[in-house]
Amino acid sequence: MTKGKDNDKDKKVGKVGASDSTKGVRSTEAVSDIDKVKATSAVGRVSAVSGVGGAGAIGRITLDQRDRLMSIVSEEAAKLAAQGVIPNNQREIVEQAVKMVIDASLEESSEDKKR
């Protein structure tokens, strides 16, 4: 019996520890000065795209540049032949071949615009 009483004592809830106190919340810092937004400086005008312009950095060629490209081929072929870089007997064939290869590579730009 005595033993039973002892057991009851054991079951008593022990002292409840106090919960940790909340640490101090740091106060928010004052917002530091915001620089004024600087005025955008003048953006230089985009210069007009010349001649074959639009070919872009990767040299894309489209049908609307055809005439200009063909005339550059003729001009450069004439220069190279005059300098003796292209033998005269080859000039016609070489010029025609380059025109053909460019012509066959042109992208129809109107097709792009439709999409």
Q: Could you list the residues that contact other proteins (CB under 8 A)? A: 49-63, 69, 72-73, 76-77, 80, 83-90, 92-108, 111, 114
Number of C-beta neighbours around residue 24 at 10 A: 6
The minimum distance between CB 43 and other proteins, in angstroms, equals 17
Q: Show Cβ contacts of residue 112 under 8 Å, excluding neighbours closer than 6 positions.
A: 62
The minimum distance between CB 70 and other proteins, in angstroms, equals 10
Nearest residue (CB) to other proteins, 17 versus 99: 99
Whether 61 and 105 have beta carbons less than 8 Å apart is answered as yes
Which residue type is seen at 85?
V
Nearest residue (CB) to other proteins, 40 versus 89: 89
Q: Is the dihedral of CA 83, 88, 94, 98 positive or negative?
A: positive
Nearest residue (CB) to other proteins, 9 versus 45: 45
Nearest residue (CB) to other proteins, 22 versus 85: 85
The minimum distance between CB 41 and other proteins, in angstroms, equals 21
35, two tokens: 């620089």
